[in-house]
Amino acid sequence: MSDPKATESFDSSDYRRALGGFGTGVALVAVRAPNGAAHGMIINSLTSVSLNPPIMLWCLARTSSVFDIYTQVEAFSLNILRSDDHDVARHYSRRGGDRVIPLDQVCTMETGAPVLAAAVASLDCRTRLRQSMGDHEVIYGDVVAYRGDPGVDALGFFRGKFVTLKSGE
């Protein structure tokens, strides 16, 4: 094991590598942009906060070029990607890349936020709270509708690489 790092001496690249040892799912958060287009970006900071009531959270860097779009909406969807969605994950995680989701790839549920039609699971959320924390904005959402396909494998991310998260069914 490497030497423990004091907060003052954090190397952000080294820190990210250490965090890479925690495997995560890969999700696309989708919103309706001010021009009406479906807009998506990849996140891995997705957490279930509460089951009753159902509340989720995700985090967005304040330096993100799309910060204003995602922090001004009252509804969003959280979409867990399928194991073969590598291209989707790469496309919507590029800095400065095109974030518009083609209309034939989205549907809507309760809130009117765009939902990725082919996701393993989708959670339709109303924004509950936005909270500044460090260099990120933490966005909480009340889940008002959801759907899932439990027999489909999901896309994961571990130590800088995509992995398959098996459904077990």
pLDDT digits (tens, 9 = 90+) for 82-122: 999 999 999 999 887 678 998 899 999 999 999 999 999 99
The candidate with the shortest Cα–Cα distance to 146, out of 119, 164, 165, is: 119
What is the pTM assigned to this prediction?
A: 0.88
Please state the φ and ψ torsions of residue 131, each to the nearest 5 degrees: -135, 125
Neighbours of 147 (CB within 10 A): 13
- The pLDDT value recorded for residue 1 is 44
Mean pLDDT of 64-75: 92
Domain coordinates in residue numbering, the chain: 25-148
* DSSP conformational letter for 110: S
- The pLDDT value recorded for residue 151 is 86
pLDDT digits (tens, 9 = 90+) for 7-61: 567 788 887 778 776 678 899 999 999 899 999 999 978 999 999 999 999 999 9
- The pLDDT value recorded for residue 144 is 98
| pLDDT at 5 > cutoff 60 | no
Report the C-alpha gap between 17 and 67 in whole angstroms.
25
CATH architecture, domain 25-148: Roll (2.30)
Please state the φ and ψ torsions of residue 49, each to the nearest 5 degrees: -90, -40
CA 37 to the chain's CA centroid: 18
pLDDT digits (tens, 9 = 90+) for 108-162: 999 999 999 999 999 999 999 999 999 999 999 999 999 998 889 999 998 888 8
| Residues whose CB is less than 8 angstroms from the CB of residue 133 and which lie 6 or more positions away in sequence, other chains included | 59
- The pLDDT value recorded for residue 78 is 98
10 burial type by CB count under 10 A (0-12 exposed, 13-18 middle, 19+ buried): exposed
